[in-house]
Structure 1
Amino acid sequence: PFCSLSTAGVNIAGFDFGVLTDGSQTVSKVYPPLSALGGPDGAGQMSHFVKDDNLNIFRLPVGWEYLTNYNIGTFDTTKLANYDQLVQACLSTGATCIVDIHNYARWYGGIIGQGGPSNASLVQLWTQLATKYKDSTNIAFGVMNEPHDLDINMWAGTVQLVVTAIRTAGATSQMILLPGTGYTSAGSFVDNGSGAALSKVKNLDGSITNLIFDVHQYLDYDYSGTHTECVTDNIYSAWQPLATWLRTNKRQALNTETGGGNTASCEQYLCSAINFMNSNTDVFLGYVAWSAGSFDSTYELDLTPTLSGSTWTDTALMKACVAR
């Protein structure tokens, strides 16, 4: 479909495999979406998505445990280099590349800055990542995937520390994605206080330039993104109220996870949701669908294209709604 949103793309998953919602990760379950590391050809997928589907943003989820090999403070040099191969493959397409720490605001069950690891631990992680990527203007920093069940005002304080650290490290121009609680759901972002709390987060100079709210929304009956059938486009329950709030508060959001099965119901409702975003581009920057990368056709929300010879073939939902 025609798309006027500034960004549209897809998640390239695999480095996040093995992460649970309590923030623990079984690193042996990681399946890098890189043929050089024995996995699927994520680089080829991204190149295809840019060239053939007119997509221009990819989210690259990774587990905190993977990057540090279970040592919370220090990067594992080999594993960081592995992940960086995916980042560089993404950057080489000219797309925006979101570095996403996929840990639910947790490390082995403990909430960051709220009884679990210290805020300083997350600040250290992001200082190192921002230092590494400060000269890459097409990098975006996804502070944390899907925080949940935490004190939102305390969490906003943690996010502020991360933003300050990223900017201080020299990454002054890149987009930073600010996630709320409730799995950063678009439908509860205002009501659960995430919008108000995160509105207080500022850049070093007090501005909000390139500080973008990070929201997710699924379309199945329990909004979990685990079923192949969709039942709603979420316009009246989530997207319309959020658009109104963003407009009133002069802010913008990016939908970094949405999707569904390769089914008629999901084609209907996801296309409808994307069309709504297309009509509200002053407040919505775009969408990043879930997910391609190391998933295959056995996964309910699979968007991974298949390669035959030199020809990539997209899934039904990718063709119908996500590509443009």
Structure 2
Amino acid sequence: MCGYGTGFAATPMGNANSLATAPAGISYAALINKFTNHEWDNGSWRKSAGVSVQATAENLAAFRAGTLVSTVDGRLHTVTSVKTVGTSLSVFMQGAPLDGAVIGYPNRLRAVGSAPVDTGVIPVVTAALINKFTNHEWDNGSWRKTAGVSVQATAENLAAFRAGTLVRTADDRLHTVSSVKTVGANLSVFMQGAPLDGTVVGYPNRLRAVGSAPVEPPPADENPGATPEVSPASPAALINKFTNHEWDNGSWRKSAGVSVQATAENLASFQVGASVVLADGQVRTITEVRKVGSNLTVLMDGPVLDGTLVGYPNRLSVLDPAAQQPALPEASRPPQEDARERISLVGVNLSGAGFGSSVLPGKHGTNYIYPSESYYQKYAGQGLNLVRLPFLWERIQPALDSELNAAELARLVQSLDFAHKHGVKVILDLHNYYRYYGKLIGSPEVPIASFADVWRRIAQQVSEHPAVSGYGLMNEPYGTNGLWPEAAMAASQAIRQIDPEHWIYVAGDRYSSAWHWPKYNARLVDDPWMRDPRNNLVYEAHMYLDRDTSGMYYDTTETFAPTLGIDRARPFVDWLKENGLRGYIGEFGVPAYAADAIDAMDNLLGYLRENCIPLTYWAAGPWWGDYVLALDVKSGEDRPQLPVLKKHAAAPSSCTSIGPLQ
């Protein structure tokens, strides 16, 4: 698999020629067995974190409870138990199930040493995917002028790659980081030495953080220029040891904040507006400080912190921009990247408010429910910061052409508040299937003008809310008597009278099926207004992989080809390209029991990313019970669809707007 297996090669510790380049401590590696069935995926256990290796004497000696092991993705895990099964040895570890497509056969499990006993945090050896840039300044994400590469500016990468860090490139060479610079959503990591060969070390390879650089100077041939001077460490304060109903290891349970001693140095260092670095590498901005007796409460932006990760005995450090970003020589400065905001390409449907359509208006908390803040926090933490939020027309506006229901509007706005608090953008989805109390839009009972009216009123209330991504006009129109194009344009133009900026998501007829899109939606863009890219229209398709495209997955024995998702999406994507339009997959889901369907989803998401087309997975949120497509189920177990979504949410992308617009 591209990008894996090129670093951390097992090196015999007795080989004197290898010691200079081998990461310290890696002493033994075992080939993972080749099992794939309902319980195993390339030798990776599907139910919890674990792999199977041969039960040789060496493996029995190397892999024991408490051993620290490294998987091929560069992550460290602590072994919790081992079990001999015939000629094989099952090695179980802490954490969620591993992705066998990434770490399984023909890769190896490496015994690193004993797990640290002074902390519950499992250390991570970061392996960052190099970005895919090729232009006059970059070659596959490798800087042409001096040694350097570009990776995503995630919290993990910001923590791992710092001046002085020792890193390994795909050609198995070690380099010392001389400086780093954040440029938009990316992190330029500069190293000592001559420019790197992007065809060898660039995308799709990875840059691996090995450890601290040795104190002795590097060889002359790897230090042709002076290393930029690194400023002294910034102030850092020990987090207090409080654990009670309000504090978790000195981390405030109600909002993002920690407690430190109110020393003169801390009072001077922690000021509103300053950037601080937490123990897990996150960078936050201080919003407020409060002196409480001999302690100082430092409040920050963003979601609540996990005290088990960032609390006592860790420290809060002030990020000094001048210290962290030393000036670079002109020849070493990275290019100025596109300043436009990178779009979110992977998200979820947070259902609940669209439930109970047979009981209208119904009772909140009994027949339907808006998702709590915890769901926004959860998926933002997974990197899925785009949410499609279904709700019902009859509840937000119980009578046509009337004022919006105040209680329902308050619930909707509260959801937007939750989203904004956790950095999530929301698509407001009117989940009505082209109907109002069962009557078709465009019928005498429900005029098209009334459909436009409700969207005008909603836009008036929420258009200035910072969490709004846009307006999803209608979920899965069907049986529209050919009137959907007229209704869609009327609602879109009503919104544009209020809000000229946010996206308008225009669903397709015939349940918005991507596979059937060209046949049923040719007339949707007959009017030039619906083709004008300045109107910020995004066409929304839905797709599922079962035989009848319904998403019901009645046949549990059905199999799914690896390219099935791409094949189902292609008619819609080709239509967008032919018409120079933007697109979005509003719903897509696969059953948890079908590993081949999850593989097809993996391939689909890669295809959509290439075309800058976002997708929101169906579904997440409360009240799903044991629904096979859901990410949140009654048991609380981790669902196998989630790692694929997280993988693609974190994948590098050059998309600066929704596409494809060809």
Query: TM-score if structure 1 supplies the norm length?
Result: 0.83
Query: Hey, what does 1:217 align to over in structure 2?
Result: 543
1:256 partnered with 2:586:
yes
The alignment of Structure 1 onto Structure 2 pairs a total of residues equal to: 301
1:19 partnered with 2:346:
no
Distance, in Å, in 2 between the alignment partners of 1:6 and 1:50 is 11
Distance, in Å, in 2 between the alignment partners of 1:196 and 1:119 is 17
Unaligned segments of structure 2, at least 5 residues: 1-101, 103-128, 133-342, 650-662
1:317 shift after superposition:
1.0
| 1:263-303 superposed Cα distances (whole Å, 9 cap, x missing partner) | 2233122222212212322xx2x100011112334223211
- Alignment of structure 1 residues 30-49 onto 2, 5 Å: 30-34=367-371, 42-49=372-379
Q: Could you tell me which amino acid in structure 2 is paired with residue 200 of structure 1?
A: D
Q: Could you tell me which amino acid in structure 1 is paired with residue 552 of structure 2?
A: T
Query: Hey, what does 1:198 align to over in structure 2?
Result: 525
Query: Hey, what does 1:292 align to over in structure 2?
Result: 620
| 1:67-105 superposed Cα distances (whole Å, 9 cap, x missing partner) | 23x323332211221222112212322222011110001
SS at match of 1:120: helix
Query: Hey, what does 2:439 align to over in structure 1?
Result: 110
Query: Hey, what does 1:38 align to over in structure 2?
Result: none
| 1:221-246 superposed Cα distances (whole Å, 9 cap, x missing partner) | 22112238564454464322322221
Query: Hey, what does 2:642 align to over in structure 1?
Result: 318
The alpha-carbon distance between structure 1 residues 87 and 138, as it changes in their structure 2 partners (threshold 3 A), is closer
The alpha-carbon distance between structure 1 residues 255 and 322, as it changes in their structure 2 partners (threshold 3 A), is farther
Is the Cα contact below 8 Å between 2:506 and 2:537 reproduced in 1? yes
Q: Could you tell me which amino acid in structure 2 is paired with residue 268 of structure 1?
A: D
- Alignment of structure 1 residues 1-324 onto 2, 5 Å: 6-19=344-357, 25=360, 27-28=362-363, 30-34=367-371, 42-51=372-381, 53-68=382-397, 70-74=398-402, 75-139=404-468, 140-152=470-482, 154-169=483-498, 171-192=499-520, 194-198=521-525, 200=527, 202=529, 207-227=533-553, 229=556, 231-232=559-560, 234-235=564-565, 237-263=567-593, 264-281=595-612, 284=613, 286-304=614-632, 314-321=638-645, 324=649
Is the Cα contact below 8 Å between 2:503 and 2:537 reproduced in 1? yes
Q: Could you tell me which amino acid in structure 2 is paired with residue 185 of structure 1?
A: S
SS at match of 1:217: strand
The alpha-carbon distance between structure 1 residues 299 and 237, as it changes in their structure 2 partners (threshold 3 A), is same
The alpha-carbon distance between structure 1 residues 97 and 184, as it changes in their structure 2 partners (threshold 3 A), is same
Unaligned segments of structure 1, at least 5 residues: 35-41
Greater radius of gyration (CA)? 2
Distance, in Å, in 2 between the alignment partners of 1:255 and 1:72 is 30
1:134 shift after superposition:
1.6
SS at match of 1:298: coil
The alpha-carbon distance between structure 1 residues 59 and 108, as it changes in their structure 2 partners (threshold 3 A), is same
Is the Cα contact below 8 Å between 1:148 and 1:181 reproduced in 2? yes
1:64 shift after superposition:
1.0
SS at match of 1:190: helix
1:258 shift after superposition:
0.5
Distance, in Å, in 1 between the alignment partners of 2:384 and 2:527 is 32
Query: Hey, what does 2:297 align to over in structure 1?
Result: none
SS at match of 1:27: coil
Distance, in Å, in 1 between the alignment partners of 2:627 and 2:367 is 16
Which structure has more helix as a fraction of its residues? 1
Is the Cα contact below 8 Å between 1:137 and 1:173 reproduced in 2? no
Distance, in Å, in 2 between the alignment partners of 1:30 and 1:63 is 12
Distance, in Å, in 1 between the alignment partners of 2:368 and 2:611 is 37
Q: Which has the higher contact order (CA 8 A, sep 6+)?
A: 1
1:199 shift after superposition:
5.4
Please report the RMSD computed on the Cα atoms of aligned residues, expressed in angstroms: 2.9
Is the Cα contact below 8 Å between 2:471 and 2:505 reproduced in 1? yes
Distance, in Å, in 2 between the alignment partners of 1:81 and 1:239 is 36
The percent of aligned pairs where both chains have the same amino acid is: 24
Is the Cα contact below 8 Å between 2:588 and 2:617 reproduced in 1? yes
Is the Cα contact below 8 Å between 2:516 and 2:571 reproduced in 1? no
Is the Cα contact below 8 Å between 1:246 and 1:252 reproduced in 2? yes
Which structure has more strand as a fraction of its residues? 2
Distance, in Å, in 2 between the alignment partners of 1:125 and 1:11 is 22
Distance, in Å, in 2 between the alignment partners of 1:128 and 1:109 is 21
SS at match of 2:548: coil
| 1:102-157 superposed Cα distances (whole Å, 9 cap, x missing partner) | 000111332101444011211121111101112135411000100001233x2111
Distance, in Å, in 1 between the alignment partners of 2:528 and 2:396 is 26
1:163 shift after superposition:
1.0
Is the Cα contact below 8 Å between 1:215 and 1:253 reproduced in 2? yes
Distance, in Å, in 2 between the alignment partners of 1:272 and 1:295 is 29
